[in-house]
Structure 1
Amino acid sequence: MSKRNKIIYWVTTIWLALGMFSTGMVQLTQAKDGPGGAVSMAHLGYPPYLSILLGIYKLLGVIVVLVPGFPLLKEWAYAGFFFIMSGAVFSHIASGYAIQEIFPALLLLLLTVISWYIRPANKRIMKTKLYASEPKS
């Protein structure tokens, strides 16, 4: 991995982790204001308990993405972040939010995709020899 890609990976991953941690804490504590806060979730039509669940998932995902090792769990964390943030973007659009209110979710979605795409080889699921020896279809 080139130095440029390492820098891009760590900048996007740190920003992603900070964004997911902060919104996860807002949701977990049931704070009224802020992205993903209780007022926003209620306006979107979601029940209060969903915020707590999303907050827990976001915090666990941040830990998995930042801790070395566990490539399979990292894949799950990135997939979870993608599902959560794409759902947030769609929910905001469907509820008629203005673009400036959709931007935080869109930014976290973009950071998720970039961080996942550019991650180093040691953070990817490696193919074993079992798969390498199978004939190509």
Structure 2
Amino acid sequence: MTKQKAGKITYWVATLWLALGMTSTGIVQLMHMEEEVQMMAHLGYPIYFLTLIGVWKLLGVIAILIPKFPVLKEWAYAGFAFTMIGALASHLALGDGMVELFGPALLLILTEISWYFRPTNRKLVPISSK
């Protein structure tokens, strides 16, 4: 298997798992499932954050899956990273255990793998200076 093909497979596996994770958590956040409401209260955040984060996650999934729009993809990846880093920092600040850290950590790792291995046609191409 060539390095290019291995990178493409790595990209799609990570991206599909990331999309599945962000979609499923985004939906339960939009539904305000009791576990999510309790977690937000535990973390000290207002409940309306569930709606904001849920919508952002679903829009981010669309952005990373559709072709083209490299600037939008960069923002989606950044948003995923900021959200997961924020979740990790919040849980760590409260002394939560590995169970609470696992989900955000996994999604952060998938975000970074997907971003790193994305194909050239999904990357932001720098403007060359003349």
> Same fold judged by TM-score > 0.5?
yes
Q: What SS is found at the alignment partner of 1:55?
A: helix
Among 10, 13, 16, the alignment partner of 1:8 is 10
1:124 aligns with 2:123: yes
Structure 2 match to 1:19: 21
Q: Out of 63-72 and 1-10, give the one that drifted further.
A: 1-10
Structure 1 stretches of 4+ moved >2 Å = none
Helix, strand or coil at the partner of 1:96: coil
Hey, what's the Cα distance between the residues in 1 that align with 2:53 and 2:100? 19
> d(CA) in 2 for partners of 1:120 and 1:54?
27
- Whether 1:105 and 2:107 are equivalent positions in the alignment is no
Q: For each residue in 1:24-44, what CA deviation from the matched residue of structure 2 results, as whole angstroms up to 9, or x when unmatched?
A: 1111111112xxx11111100
Q: Which amino acid aligns with 1:4?
A: A
Aligned to 2:89, what secondary structure does the other structure show?
A: helix
Distance in 2, Cα, partners of 1:88 & 1:5? 28
Q: More helix by proportion, 1 or 2?
A: 2
Structure 2: any 5+ residue segments left out of the alignment?
A: none
RMSD of Structure 2 on Structure 1 (CA): 1.0
**Normalized against structure 1, the TM-score is what?**
0.90
Alignment: residue pair count:
128
Whose relative contact order is higher, 1 or 2, with alpha carbons under 8 Å and at least 6 apart? 2
User: Matched residues in 2 for 1:127 and 1:102: separation?
Assistant: 35
Could you tell me which amino acid in structure 2 is paired with residue 11 of structure 1?
Answer: V
1:132 offset after TM fit, Å? 3.6
Q: What's the CA shift for 1:127?
A: 2.2
1:31 correspondence with 2:16: no
Q: CA shift at 1:100, angstroms?
A: 2.0
Counterpart-to-counterpart distance in 2, 1:38 and 1:53: 13
Larger radius of gyration: 1
- SS of the residue 1:126 aligns to: coil
Partner Cα distance (1:84, 1:127) in 2 = 26
| Percent of aligned pairs sharing the same letter | 55
